Structure 1
Amino acid sequence: IASHHSNHPNSFHFTEDIRTLNLDPLKKLINEKMSNNDILCLWASLECTNFSRAKGGKPRDADSRTLANDLLRYILTIDPDYIMIENVEEFMSWGPLDENGKPKSKYEGVDYINWVNKIKNMGYSFDWRILNSADYGAYTSRKRYFAIFAKNGYNIQFPMPTHSKKPQKGMFGNLHQWKPVKEVLDFTDSGESIFKRKKPLSENTLKRIYAGLQKYISWDNSFILKYNSKKKKSDDKEFNNTVSEINTPLSTITTQRTPQLVQAAFLSKYYGTGNNVFGIEDVCSTLTTKDRIALVQCDRKKHFIQRYYSKDNGQSILSPAGTIMTNDKHALVSAYLLNPQWGKGSNQSINKPCFTLIARMDKAPPYLVNPKYGLCKFKIENQDSETMKLIKIFMKENYIYDIKMRMLKISELLDIQGFGSNYKLLGTKADQKKFIGNSVVPIVAQKLIESIYIGIIKGEKVKVA
């Protein structure tokens, strides 16, 4: 709450238990601030920990799962025109628990339906959607449940997507491509070698790294790309022929910028099952409250890629290449993210949106993994695990002389979620990561409010069902 107040000092904040807060001061405040023509909207991001699949097989807290019922007295007290709800998708499965704190599958959704009906019986119409933040220009593919209740004849309207994973040409082909998370990552900080750590990496972490290397760091799949990183803004102009295979002649080298030789950079996440490796050209998946994403990055020596001789080494893919120096000042950027969230975890390309960031990123932080290219300098030792041996063999075959990995920075997590790196957060790093993972992606909240506003100014009203 203190962090929110530092960014929004003109907002009123109540540091109270929502279940016991005296609502009279809130009602008085609303009456003082509102005029007759104002539209009152109540936003509720209901506690989601004991609904989320991130909870895994652990017992649920029945008291936490019933906090949505405490919203009812707020509705009765302030009588809002709109009620907007945000939660995890599993909120719709809200039902009773057994004696072990596990959901009764037979009664999944019973409590949710009853809760919706209670609010509808207060005179509200109702609709809901599952929205992916990447569809609205965010750098994360966080999917969440959003519901809207409306009364007094006001229309319910959800925002249209502005971006798409695979934009289609034609009548409805005006959507933008999902934003790649690489645009907000700092590749100048490659991290620490995975071979020189005080505490050796676990076998599971090594397996995730190896999976990412196999999928994204293959010499045969290298290509030359005029690379776009965090340090420079890109233009919105269309462009063609910006990518070339390494087996074809290089395009003209100008005196302004240098081409980037990219071999796939990717993200690795430590939660979920199935395909947990993603490209940096995609949005990041959901940010959680734990540190569960790692960026894996490869640099092959003696290729014209990332510039290390000036501060603004990141550049727009629309810019000409930089001056080619006589000494070794360029490196091949091949990074990916490693996410140690629930389950076996996963890797993800930095050419995609980031996966979901969750609240407990302090326990399982997301990492940037950064292989360095050249002759492998690490020999296979007798004490090496089977996965470590496979990694070293892969390094030798693909000319990787080191692999570096680091946690994503607070500033990067803020950019991924959509707050901007200058957003003020108080507390420890663990606290700050929890705040980010628990937050609503700002652009989605903005688009929802804008959509409702557009309906209001058009005078669109419907009869309440």
Structure 2
Amino acid sequence: MIHANELVVDNFAGGGGASTGMELGLNRHVDIAINHDPEAIAMHKANHPETRHYCESVWDVDPVEACEGRPVGLAWFSPDCKHFSKAKGSRPVDKNIRGLAWVAVRWAALVPVRVFMLENVEEFMTWGPLLEVAPGQFKPDPQRKGETFKAFIQCLSTGLDSAHPAWEEIRTALGDGFPYHMLEKGLGYNIEHRVLSACDFGVPTTRKRFFLVARNDGAQIQWPEQTHGDGLKPYRTAAEIIDWSIPVKSIFGRKRPLAENTMKRIAKGLEKFVFNADEPFIVPEQAAIPFITEHANASGQRNMALDEPLRTLCAQVKGGHFALVTSHVIKMRGTNLGHGAAEPLHTISAGGLHLGEVRAFLVKYYGTSHAGSCNSPLDTVTTKDRFGLVTVHGEEYQIIDIGMRMLEPHELYAAHDFPATYKISHDMNGKKLTKRAQVARVGNSVPPTMARVLVNANVEQPLLSEIAA
């Protein structure tokens, strides 16, 4: 538990995912939140008005001054991960950003911090020295992977030998006047770390991250038990977070045609998740009725709801056969096609809107001559005529239209399990946030559930001293 005089601090606070999770786990607000990004702080303020906010670099906030003599019961650190992530590829890394984790050591050494948690990508464990490959450009030294990470752990626990090569980086990060003798001796934390997938704890995303828990109060570190997966509760899925009331725009006849690679990606996704799927995902009946677009006359297309007769689009179903709609998630990254709607949403990144939804509109197929004209839009995506037919529960259906849209910010926040009431579209002064800004906040966020389950497992348990008393 957090004692009456103790503070709760969220470094690298972002839009407030970790803060929200800590608040849910502790049933109290976060006292201090720090982030250099004004837009992130604006969103945090809108949702956590009781918190004292610092819109500054974490290096510019003095832990001693910020805490004003009070101890910290729980601190959370989510340093920038992009210069560790495999998504970075072979691009040069920023050695200053790779050194941001030393902020945790700074806080732990300068103020009493009883428990702290750190979140990052799993490649954080490979943190090591860099090689300068060109003036000002650095790459990780492949021969020394994990060397700096081990030094980081030793500083926080048993101590770091004065001859260790990591000292140059440590002194560069922490600067003059820091009590380095404390790190040589070790800060005395008991430390454990694991890689956890959010979907295993009821979050509808596969997001996998490294989590470290450190404490110096004598209590055992505990890890939350998995609640979802094989033999447990079923995984939550992308279908849960998709807002079916939002219509999709046909991929055909757009004023600005989709890129060829996007069309190929859609075709391959349809092949995998619809045509060759044993059970393609069918949009729930209780969802708002989507629409289809007629492409017989590109200059005067008509939209119609799927609970209406299909008019002259395919005459053989006029007046009577209700259509089906399939859906899958498209991912605009690399060679990844996306995934089925009945799976957890793939990891959301901060770099932009890269996850979308593809809907294929189907009607029963009777093998008449009209099938050729109905197939014609699909030829734009693929030349394989068989792609026009889908078998669903033993019956053949004809694709008559394909729609696609990118997922909206409120869907992405739902995928990270933010509360439905979380304010994402405007800051505390009512200023509207851009869609890109909203997505950046969620891409960088800790799913609140992950912070909550870690807090519930470690901070809400009674201390050994309290048990003995």
- TM-score (normalizing by structure 1): 0.69
Pairing 1:349-388 to 2, within 5 Å after superposition: 349-362=340-353, 365-374=354-363, 375=371, 377=374, 379=376, 388=381
Q: Is residue 12 of structure 2 the alignment partner of residue 21 of structure 1?
A: no
Q: Paired residue for 1:154, among 211, 215, 219?
A: 219
Q: Paired residue for 1:82, among 92, 99, 115?
A: 115
CA distance in 1, matches of 2:96, 2:109: 21
Q: Is residue 333 of structure 2 the alignment partner of residue 333 of structure 1?
A: no
CA distance in 2, matches of 1:128, 1:219: 40
Distance 1:389 1:216, change over 3 A: closer
Paired residue for 2:164?
none
| 1:391-434 superposed Cα distances (whole Å, 9 cap, x missing partner) | 66622676111110001011111111111343112421100000
Paired residue for 1:442?
448
Paired residue for 2:253?
196
| 1:14-67 superposed Cα distances (whole Å, 9 cap, x missing partner) | 111111223333120x62xx6xxxx71111011101011111221111111011
Q: Is residue 188 of structure 2 the alignment partner of residue 123 of structure 1?
A: yes
Deviation at 1:72, TM superposition (A): 1.9
Deviation at 1:345, TM superposition (A): 2.2
| 1:105-151 superposed Cα distances (whole Å, 9 cap, x missing partner) | 11111111111111112010110011111111111011000001110
Confirm or deny: 8 A CA contact 1:208 1:346 kept in the other structure.
yes
Paired residue for 1:93?
126
Distance 1:2 1:47, change over 3 A: same
Q: Is residue 232 of structure 2 the alignment partner of residue 182 of structure 1?
A: no
Deviation at 1:158, TM superposition (A): 0.9
Q: Paired residue for 2:262, among 205, 219, 239?
A: 205
CA distance in 1, matches of 2:117, 2:291: 40
CA distance in 2, matches of 1:307, 1:56: 44
Deviation at 1:307, TM superposition (A): 7.8
Paired residue for 1:12?
52
RMSD, aligned α-carbons: 3.2
Deviation at 1:329, TM superposition (A): 8.4
Stretch moving more, 186-195 or 90-99:
186-195
Secondary structure of the residue aligned to 1:163 is coil
Distance 1:72 1:406, change over 3 A: same
Distance 1:46 1:176, change over 3 A: same
- TM-score (normalizing by structure 2): 0.69
Confirm or deny: 8 A CA contact 2:275 2:387 kept in the other structure.
no
Deviation at 1:192, TM superposition (A): 0.9
Q: Paired residue for 2:388, among 385, 395, 408?
A: 395
Q: Is residue 443 of structure 2 the alignment partner of residue 431 of structure 1?
A: no
Distance 1:151 1:9, change over 3 A: same
| 1:64-122 superposed Cα distances (whole Å, 9 cap, x missing partner) | 10111233221122221111010000101111222232211111111111111111120
CA distance in 1, matches of 2:144, 2:188: 27
Distance 1:96 1:377, change over 3 A: same
Distance 1:298 1:455, change over 3 A: farther
Identical positions, percent: 30
Secondary structure of the residue aligned to 2:96 is helix
Deviation at 1:154, TM superposition (A): 2.0
Confirm or deny: 8 A CA contact 1:51 1:88 kept in the other structure.
yes
Confirm or deny: 8 A CA contact 1:136 1:161 kept in the other structure.
yes
| 1:326-353 superposed Cα distances (whole Å, 9 cap, x missing partner) | 9658431210010112x21222111011
Paired residue for 1:270?
none
CA distance in 2, matches of 1:229, 1:60: 48
Paired residue for 2:160?
none
Letter in 2 for 1:333: V
Deviation at 1:226, TM superposition (A): 9.9
CA distance in 2, matches of 1:432, 1:143: 21
Confirm or deny: 8 A CA contact 2:273 2:280 kept in the other structure.
no
CA distance in 2, matches of 1:230, 1:132: 29
Letter in 2 for 1:450: N
Paired residue for 2:457?
451
Distance 1:389 1:152, change over 3 A: closer
CA distance in 1, matches of 2:121, 2:387: 39
Larger Rg: 2
Gaps of 5+ in 2: 1-40, 158-185, 294-304, 309-317, 364-370, 391-396, 427-432
Secondary structure of the residue aligned to 2:113 is coil
Letter in 1 for 2:272: K
CA distance in 2, matches of 1:337, 1:347: 5
Secondary structure of the residue aligned to 1:394 is helix
Letter in 2 for 1:345: N
Confirm or deny: 8 A CA contact 1:139 1:180 kept in the other structure.
yes
Confirm or deny: 8 A CA contact 1:88 1:144 kept in the other structure.
yes
Confirm or deny: 8 A CA contact 2:282 2:327 kept in the other structure.
no
Pairing 1:212-223 to 2, within 5 Å after superposition: 212-218=269-275, 221=278
Distance 1:73 1:329, change over 3 A: farther
Aligned length: 355
Distance 1:122 1:352, change over 3 A: same
CA distance in 2, matches of 1:48, 1:307: 45
Distance 1:412 1:224, change over 3 A: closer
CA distance in 1, matches of 2:329, 2:284: 17
Paired residue for 1:102?
139
Q: Paired residue for 1:48, among 81, 104, 111?
A: 81
CA distance in 2, matches of 1:396, 1:219: 11
Distance 1:3 1:111, change over 3 A: same
Paired residue for 2:23?
none
Confirm or deny: 8 A CA contact 2:194 2:211 kept in the other structure.
yes
